[in-house]
Amino acid sequence: MKNLKLVPMLLGTVLMFTSPFVLAATPKSQPGQMLKALVFLQSKGYIIVKKIEFQKDSGIYKANVVNAEGKSLEIKVNPETGEMQKPEEDITGWTAIQIAKKLEDAGYNNIYEINTQLLGHQYDVKVLDDSGQELNIKVDVESGNITKIAN
């Protein structure tokens, strides 16, 4: 019976001494760090931030941003040092301007909506044909191939 009382005490003692090390291994976001990261991104020309989140494992912020050409990028920022890791990769895709030019070159001149949010592997574009009929155009993200769907 005496040994049964000792087990919780020993376990509690072990946890008491080891928990600071476990907690110290996980970086925490400091007050004002999010704002610092956003200001740093803005100073580098990344005005549009789609999403930014603190990475507990590395202590840095990961941001999905839009560059001057309209391309989405993933950038990692250390707000303490101002270090910005090179974008992992430019997310494959076309900008709204590129899509509009491609469609106009293909004869679709009355474009009234371009949705550059990915819908699978396609962008969704709405146009009116010469007779005023609404068409739903799909543009392949990688190739730029156009698929016409009548509504």
What would the pLDDT profile of 7-30 be if each residue is shown by its tens digit?
555 555 555 555 554 444 555 667
Give the pLDDT score at 125.
Answer: 92
> The pTM is what?
0.45
103 plus 63 within the same structural domain: no
Tens of pLDDT, residues 37-83: 888 888 888 888 989 999 888 889 999 888 776 777 889 998 888 78
* Integer Cα distance of 91 and 116 in angstroms: 12
* Integer Cα distance of 128 and 122 in angstroms: 19
Residue 70 neighbours by CB under 8 Å, 6+ apart: 95, 96, 97, 116
| Boundary-marking domain end, from 91, 118, 139 | 91
Can you tell me the mean pLDDT for 136-151?
84
Between these two residues, 151 and 32, which has the higher pLDDT value?
A: 32
Q: Name the nearest CA neighbour of 60 among 76, 47, 72.
A: 76
CA distances to 69, 87, 89 from 140, rounded to whole Å, are 19, 23, 19
Number of domains in the chain: 2
| Boundary-marking domain end, from 49, 70, 91 | 91
Q: Beta strands of 1-151 (E only): which ranges?
A: 48-55, 60-66, 72-78, 83-85, 110-119, 122-128, 134-140, 146-150
| Boundary-marking domain end, from 91, 108, 126 | 91
38 plus 81 within the same structural domain: yes
87 plus 122 within the same structural domain: no
| Owning domain of residue 60 | 27-91
**Half-sphere exposure (Cβ direction) of 22: Cα atoms closer than 13 Å:** 6
Q: Is residue 1 one of the residues assigned to a domain?
A: no
